[in-house]
Amino acid sequence: MKILIKPAFFTLLSVLAAANLFGQQASYSGVIGDSPVTFVTNIYSDGVGTAVYVYGKYDEPIRLGDGKVVKNKLSFTEKDAKKMTRATLTFGNYDGKAAELKGVWKDAKTGKNLDIKLKKDFETNYGSSEVSGEFIQGDALPDRYFKVAVKGDRAAAVKVFEKKTDRLMQTIDVDTQQRGADGVSVGDFNFDGVQDFSIFESSYAGPNTSSLYYLYDPAKKLFADSGWEGTSLEFDEKKKTVSSTNSCCAGTSVTTVTYRVVKNKLVIVSETCMQYDKKKGGLVKRPMKACQ
């Protein structure tokens, strides 16, 4: 039985994991006002979307929420650290296939408007295996930011850059599903007080997903593959534990495994098998072999 992993308790990825495969991811470059930006949109087939943009001067990703297309008008909201709306971004006559995107950034408090002018660098859609480019990621570290090199609906590499200088610090080859600007997630996955990163690998039947985890080595100043495997992994920073939940057979069989991190390896602490009992009308605990 293969066990898979996902990050939680840290920065969460979009809950629309499966729908992401059927959306359009596009990367643009241009300006907001007079400031150069990189802008990435992820628009799903139902018109719901997410976006990330980055000012070239700061290299700090800004996530946009509440994305939607209504009557050819694309809109997003930008929130501050307190989750209050800081600005709205609207694009009239939106066309996902157009080479340019024009809109307005509006300050929620002052009402000040800045023109947005963007040119599309590339786009990917489900099945567009020949299209390649690099998506800047919505998660970043205090001194580093990430780009994911993609080819169609596959991610081929994670690139780590130094903020402000844009110096390429590391390239890590991967072969995973690509998720536009939402592929990389950061967190202290081995609880050593140093930030690491993961990249989404794949989604499977039901809620099961997997990610690849890269732990930071302060001595080498590089990230290294952890080699971890597990299903839908969650990280509890208070308890210093990692838990994996593998749901099978339409939720009628659920395996939970709890780990501790020892010398950057996952060591099993406990395992639980729960299976649906028709008479009791719910999940009941079974011997582990019943879930294997």
Closest alpha carbon to 91 in 117, 55, 54: 117
CB atoms within 10 A of CB 8: 17
With contact defined as beta carbons under 8 Å apart, do 42 and 180 qualify? yes
SS3 21: helix
pLDDT, tens digit, 9 for 90 and up, residues 14-35: 333 433 445 789 999 999 999 9
Mean pLDDT in residue range 80-100: 93
Look up residue 268 and give its amino acid: I
Terminal CA-to-CA distance of the chain, rounded, Å? 6
pLDDT, tens digit, 9 for 90 and up, residues 155-196: 999 999 999 999 999 999 999 999 999 999 999 999 999 999
Distance CA 129, CA 85 (A): 37
Q: In what order do the strands lie in the sheet with 265-277?
A: 234-236, 241-248, 253-262, 265-277, 282-286
224 alpha carbon, distance to own chain's centre: 19
With contact defined as beta carbons under 8 Å apart, do 211 and 17 qualify? no
**Cross-strand partners of 103:** 116
Rg (CA), the chain: 21
Distance CA 207, CA 252 (A): 13
192 secondary structure, DSSP code:
S
Distance CA 118, CA 191 (A): 40
**pLDDT at position 30, please?**
98
Task: Give per-residue burial for 176-198: e unless 16+ CB within 10 Å, then b.
Answer: bbbbbbbbbbbbebbbeeebbbb
Q: How many residues does the chain have?
A: 292
Percent of the chain with pLDDT over 90: 74
Tokens at 57, concatenated: 């001067």
Residue 112 has pLDDT above 90, yes or no: yes
pLDDT, tens digit, 9 for 90 and up, residues 238-261: 999 999 999 988 889 999 999 999
